[in-house]
Amino acid sequence: MKNNSKICTADFIQGNIACAEGAIMAGCKFFAGYPITPASEIAHHLSKRMLEVEGTFIQTEDEISAIANIIGASWGGVKSMTATSGPGISLMLENIGLAVVTETPCVIINVQRGAPSTGSPSIHLQGDILQSKYGSQGDYQIIALAPASPQEMFDFTIEAFNLSEQYRTPVFVLSDSLIGHMRERVEFPHQTDLCLMKRKVLKHYQGIHQKIFLDEEVAPMPIFGEGLRANITGSTHKEDGFRNVSSPEILDNLIKKLSNKIFNHRKQIIRIEENDLDDAEVVIISYGLTSRAVLESVRIARKEGMKVGSFRPITLWPFPEEAIEDLSKQVRTIIVCENNLGQFYTFVKAAACENCQVRFLPPKILGTLYHPEEILSEVKEVI
């Protein structure tokens, strides 16, 4: 969180609790969710805290209802959030598409677990990376942040709210069961030191064809109950919200404008953490929890005199294509470490355009932590 904030207090807490506290600090006033391991602690904590800050907590009948509730609440003018795991996201996907298309700010926490299907609730996996980008039907851009610690679950939840408000769009936080349940020191800034974004809202009714959608610089949102006569639909629509499902030109306009709203601002949205890149011949790309094992491996490799660096996208989506392309021109080899069968790797390989060698290294057993030796022996093979 680049808020230049001074530390107010600190605590030794679980990632999920840190996430819930981040939501409170970001000004979230509405939480809807359905119990699921390993995300339930977020709901437990917010069922108490939300009411203390005059907010609303609702345990819904299913995850479909949870996402629908937070979208409805967002149109009511409040910051809203849900938290779940992969199976819940699978149920939410149709309405996540609706949130994208109706340009509704909201935050979705995915504490990933072993998948596919019911999978392994308490095993950590980075298995839902592509689901968050491509899960709902059609072409659209999404923003997703990948924390690696309880501190980052706090920080990135606040950042997710900021991005969601700024770009009027749903934002994912892609955590996993290990970060969610891990206990570490979390530092809380003073509320007044935080920089919180507020959505651009429509102030006065501007006539039947008022422009409330599809502005690449983000259209003002007509909050319900203010006499703004909002005309909101999940069907293909024009800038004024009126539906038109027969014109390909209007469909084309919607898809491109919605996508460009995020894509054209990717330089402002994308955040990357780089270490030891200056003279690196080999660079390891990783994100989320995996990046911590990579950092340790790079530290050991450097001690042993190997020219190795690390590159960690904090925002997985939008994909940092230009940065990875530039990187591929500077180094001999990129190694992608992720706890899945190569979801991010495919994108990295495409972005590298064969400028350098790109290798994929999952942990020896999916769902376990990397041993630095696994990464080091791969590095030694290519250096």
- Residues within the interface to another protein (CB under 8 A): 29-30, 32, 48, 51-52, 54, 56, 58, 60-62, 64-65, 68-78, 80, 94-95, 98, 208-209, 222, 224-235, 241-243
Under 8 Å between Cβ of 188 and 21: yes
- Least Cβ distance, residue 217 to another protein (angstroms): 24
- Least Cβ distance, residue 261 to another protein (angstroms): 21
Nearer to another protein, 92 or 173 (CB): 92
User: CA 374 to CA 300: how far, in whole Å?
Assistant: 12
- Least Cβ distance, residue 197 to another protein (angstroms): 19
How is residue 52 written in tokens? 């203390």
Nearer to another protein, 29 or 266 (CB): 29
Nearer to another protein, 58 or 272 (CB): 58
Under 8 Å between Cβ of 106 and 58: no
Closest alpha carbon to 380 in 297, 315, 312 = 297
Closest alpha carbon to 70 in 56, 81, 60, 84 = 81
- Least Cβ distance, residue 274 to another protein (angstroms): 40
Nearer to another protein, 5 or 233 (CB): 233
Under 8 Å between Cβ of 111 and 16: yes
User: CA 1 to CA 54: how far, in whole Å?
Assistant: 26
- Least Cβ distance, residue 94 to another protein (angstroms): 6
Nearer to another protein, 29 or 113 (CB): 29
Closest alpha carbon to 317 in 157, 165, 143 = 143
- Least Cβ distance, residue 241 to another protein (angstroms): 7
- Least Cβ distance, residue 111 to another protein (angstroms): 22
Nearer to another protein, 38 or 220 (CB): 220
Nearer to another protein, 77 or 135 (CB): 77
Residues 6+ apart with CB under 8 A from 138: 97, 255
Q: What angle do CA 211, 216, 222 make, to 5 degrees?
A: 35
Residues 6+ apart with CB under 8 A from 355: 325, 328, 329
Adjacency order of strands within the sheet including 272-275: 272-275, 308-313, 282-285, 333-336, 357-360
